[in-house]
A = this chain, B = another copy of it.
Amino acid sequence: MAHLSKNLIGKSALLLVLLEDEINEGYTRTLEQLQWKYCMGKVGSMEPHKVVAAIETAAKKHQLIKPELYRESHALYHAILEAMEGVTRGQIQLGSVQRTVGLRFAIIRGNPYDSPEEGQWIAVAMYGTIGAPIKGLEHEVVGLGINHI
């Protein structure tokens, strides 16, 4: 039976975006020992498709997904949209409803279940701010999407 291992892919992705500068070398070394691929990035935009594109580009550049394989793009795309649901809370809209986001994101690809048969999964975490297109008029947001790949 499937069982989440003690190495939690979602928690790991969330800590990467939350702690960022506070992440010590020991932490990322753990990810590497697990042979989990990961990458991080930033994106600020009033257009959801630019958030999607920034994350897809980062994933391809760091070889977390094979660009020519649709099943991997499809897995990542749905993980991104699910994370965006947490960020937007109701409608995946930004500028069209007069708001903007500034986000850090982390993507991890690894095997988060004890059973090797469960194979690889992908986690997309986002953390940052959402608000009016005026500096300061904003609060924090978070999102996490997880999918089998």
Which of A's residues lie within 8 Å of B, judged by CB? 1-4, 8-11, 14-15, 18, 47-49, 52-53, 56, 68-71, 73-75, 77-78, 81-82, 84-87, 89-93, 95-99, 112-113, 117-119, 121, 123, 125, 127, 129, 131-132, 135-148
Enumerate chain B residues within 8 angstroms of A85, measured Cβ to Cβ: 85-86, 89-90
Tell me, in angstroms, the Cα distance from A84 to B89 when the chains sit together.
Answer: 8
Enumerate chain B residues within 8 angstroms of A68, measured Cβ to Cβ: 1-2
B92 touches A4 (CB 8 A): no
Q: Is the interface of A mostly helix, strand, loop or mixed?
A: mixed
A-B interface, 4 closest residue pairs, ranked by CB to CB distance from nearest? A86-B86, A10-B140, A2-B70, A71-B148
B18 touches A138 (CB 8 A): no
State how many angstroms separate the Cβ of A58 from the closest Cβ of chain B: 14
With A86-B85, A140-B9, A146-B140 as known contacts, state yes or no: A1 contacts B118, CB within 8 Å: no
B136 touches A96 (CB 8 A): no
